[in-house]
Chains A and B, each alone.
Chain A
Amino acid sequence: MARQMTGAKMVVQALKDQGVDTVFGYPGGAVLPIYDEIFQQNDIKHVLVRHEQGAIHAAEGYARSTGKPGVALVTSGPGATNAVTGLTDALLDSIPIIVLSGQVPTFMIGTDGFQEADTVGITRPCTKHNWLVQDTDDLSRLMHAAFHVATTGRPGPVLVDIPKDVQFATGTYHPKPKSSDFRYQPPLKADTEELTELVAALEVAKRPVFYTGGGVINSGPAASQLLRELVEATGAPITSTLMGLGAYPASGEKWLGMLGMHGLYEANMAMHDCDLMINIGARFDDRITGRTDAFSPNSRKAHIDIDPSSINKVIHVDFPIVGDVAHVLEDMLRIWKARGRKMNREALAKWWQKIDGWREVKCLTYKNSDKIIKPQYALERLEALTKDHDRYITTEVGQHQMWAAQFLGFEDPNRWMTSGGLGTMGYGFPASIGVQMAHPDALVINVAGEASWLMNMQEMGTAVQYRLPVKQFILNNERLGMVRQWQQLLHGERYSSSWSEALPDFVKLAEAFGAKGIQCSDPADLDDAIMEMLNYDGPVIFDCLVEKHENCFPMIPSGKAHNEMLLGDASTEGAIEAGGAVLV
């Protein structure tokens, strides 16, 4: 079966064999042979971005919305260094992407050649793994290995650095191996005895809570199905991190909403007061735990995670369970059913009474206005007018991101793309392009802040060129809102460099690119303006002028416990101690 071909052809052949239909990239000297091969075929569509960072985020959006790996292609030197932020983003959020970079020819490596950078050195700490290909005969094997590593176990970004002479030379092409041929095989199934202990603890728990995360999404649609079954069958409440939204439907009866720093009161209180916490594919991030020594002080904790290094990293757990969410939940359900479907129903009913009390607080209440658009109101209207669409949401980073998580409802996994771990401003717009490429007929909306959006606004060119009808819904507060909020609460209202000055006229900007621009500033016009955006067949920049000084609540200040949540401006007086200011 082995065939002889050039390295450049191998790259394209391997992509085809891996089922890749879309590559996001930007050409340059060191990848010209690969671009030449791309030109001569029709199976793989290449999307020319306007900046390599955009290519990586687009690949991330593609990956998160499909469950398939995303692929990006960049040139050597500056092409590769421009990819670093996206790689780090994908590493922290466990997104499977493969980045192919060109490199100077092998005989020039180490000579400070034109556009030479030590790409594997630079990207070693921000990839799950990377390779410099030294020989054309190794290329196809490493290409296939890259897909295996990126998508197996805890997913992540993999980079393959390909010198130009390796692309030109001829070598042997190895077809795609079976997944089981690779040595790297993280175990998927957990130990039955350990699972039985956890089930036994669940059966007697008085105040259980499921705390779920991005690992459920990573595990695939079956994991979300099994999670739903488990929650319905046991009747226990469920909350999720920012990364896990949609695994359990927001309309579900057992749904407490997102937890954490800007999570819902009922979710955080349930985490604090529970007696059994079952973490399913989440990583006890510091946005979740707050002050670790006061984190859920009276509970026994279980942690289901495919990566052993996530377990006991931050929070000590009583039931460490290493495995893939779908496999573990399947076994857990089976064991629980076999043991007679027991739960402490009486205690659970009381627990729900308590939770319903917390729900009564209605922590997302905000003061609306008929003069100025409140950002929360804008998202409520967006939700109402789009929730029945085949809808995908991406976000930038800041207050708008948190409001989107609070006010939009996700019924299914893979519908919500956001930069959680790295918090990369500039993620959302290119990610929306990646999502739209994967789902041409769907409604794709990027909920943005004006400052974040400007960070990758060059991608307007991409959206227009490929006729991608992505909707850029910008909550324009003319502030770096999240920074401004922290300065207000933690830095004595000294607003150092946290406003957006010299903003473009977004409507004219859209028009300059050949897209549509809409501006709205009156709450009374909002619905019509949103409908105009939805009805336009093409990319839209929606400049939604909102209240400039709105704060995002609830908020657990850094270094505070879950039950020390701030619910609104009135509660912030003196609430944050300076020690918290050293934290991020």
Chain B
Amino acid sequence: MNALKIKKGSNSHSAYNLRSTFSDVIEQHTLAVVVDNEAGVLARVIGLFSGRGYNIESLTVAEVDHTGKRSRITIVTRGTPQVIEQIKAQLGRIIPVHQVNDLTVEGPSVERELALIKVEGAGDHRVEALRLADIFRAKVVDSTLTSFVFELTGTPDKIDAFAELMRPLGLVELARTGVAALSRGDS
């Protein structure tokens, strides 16, 4: 019995072709996750993303309620609408998770990121860097005769744009916090 009728490279009948009836548009969502600040909780969240193959564009975490020992994790992720729904449902299953909010769909929100940008150079480049920093309302938080460290707060796009402008002017190091986000208006 030879059952091997091979069509080369054929995978149209893959049982893992799971989302055929689903939309394949990739969306970016910002999720706010409130968790008990217990040992290992961040590892659980990150392990969920790596274990199930989801993307993390950025992730920030800090304790926001010291008496209640609650932390807020802000995750920016990308995926099809079905994957985003799965991510939210999977996050919701983690025992120390209190609440999962999808800021992208739950009405308008503010998103901010902080960046520290070190630019080295002299002469015209230095002057131009300062001028652009002023336009972007970046603050100088450290300076030497040959370098600046700028502090910039804004949307990730704004930071991207600033970093791009600084690159030819001597950008040597960039540190970003990742996004923190809140919904607008009263909750």
Contacts and interface: CB of A to CB of B under 8 A. Distances in A.
B40 A558 contact: no
B17 interface: yes
A493 interface: yes
A170 interface: no
B89 A308 contact: yes
Interface stretch (B2-10, B134-142, B143-151): B2-10
B3 A292 contact: no
A309 B44 contact: no
B95 to A, nearest CB: 4
Interface stretch (B18-26, B71-79, B122-130): B18-26
Contacts of B89: 307-309, 311, 313
B43 A121 contact: yes
B90 interface: yes
Nearest to B91: A309
Interface string B48-85: 00010000000000000000000000000000001001
A17 interface: no
Interface in A542-584: 558-560, 569, 572-580, 582-583
Contacts of A68: none
Nearest to A297: B21
B82 A290 contact: no
B47 A316 contact: no
Interface size bracket, A side:
35 or more
Contacts of A578: 4-8, 10
Contact of B17 (A293, A492, A576, A577): A293
A309 B48 CA distance: 13
A456 B118 CA distance: 61
Contacts of A313: 86, 89
A125 B51 contact: yes
A582 B3 contact: no
B187 interface: no
Contacts of B17: 291-293
Given A292-B18, A312-B85, A493 B95 contact: no
Interface string B29-48: 00000000001100110010
B183 to A, nearest CB: 22
Contact of B15 (A120, A124, A290): A290
Contacts of B6: 577-578
Contacts of B90: 309
Contacts, number: 109
Interface in A484-512: 488-493
A286 B18 CA distance: 9
A174 to B, nearest CB: 17
Given A292-B21, A488-B1, A490-B4, A579 B44 contact: no
A572 B4 CA distance: 10
A534 B13 CA distance: 46
A360 B7 CA distance: 34
A491 B85 CA distance: 38
A316 B21 contact: yes
A325 B39 CA distance: 33
Interface string A359-393: 00000000000000000000000000000000000
B169 to A, nearest CB: 44
B95 A129 contact: yes
Contacts of B4: 490-492, 576, 578
Most chain A CB within a 10 A radius of its CB, from B12, B16, B39, B95? B95
Given A316-B21, A559-B13, A582-B14, A574 B3 contact: yes
A490 B18 CA distance: 22
Contacts of A558: 15
Nearest to A551: B1
Contact of A309 (B1, B22, B86): B86
Contacts of A572: 1, 3
A576 B3 contact: yes
A559 B85 CA distance: 25
A23 interface: no
Nearest to B90: A309
Contacts of B16: 286, 583
A559 B95 contact: no
A562 B37 CA distance: 47
B92 interface: yes
A492 B93 contact: no
22 contacts: A124-B44, A125-B51, A128-B95, A134-B39, A289-B15, A291-B14, A293-B17, A307-B89, A309-B90, A312-B85, A313-B86, A314-B18, A316-B21, A316-B22, A316-B82, A492-B3, A493-B2, A574-B3, A576-B3, A577-B6, A578-B7, A579-B10
- Listed from nearest, the 10 A-B pairs whose CB atoms lie closest are A309-B89, A578-B6, A559-B13, A293-B20, A129-B95, A579-B10, A308-B89, A574-B5, A286-B15, A489-B3
Given A573-B2, A583-B14, 15 more contacts: A132-B39, A290-B15, A292-B20, A293-B21, A308-B93, A309-B93, A314-B18, A316-B21, A490-B3, A492-B4, A493-B2, A574-B5, A575-B3, A576-B4, A577-B5
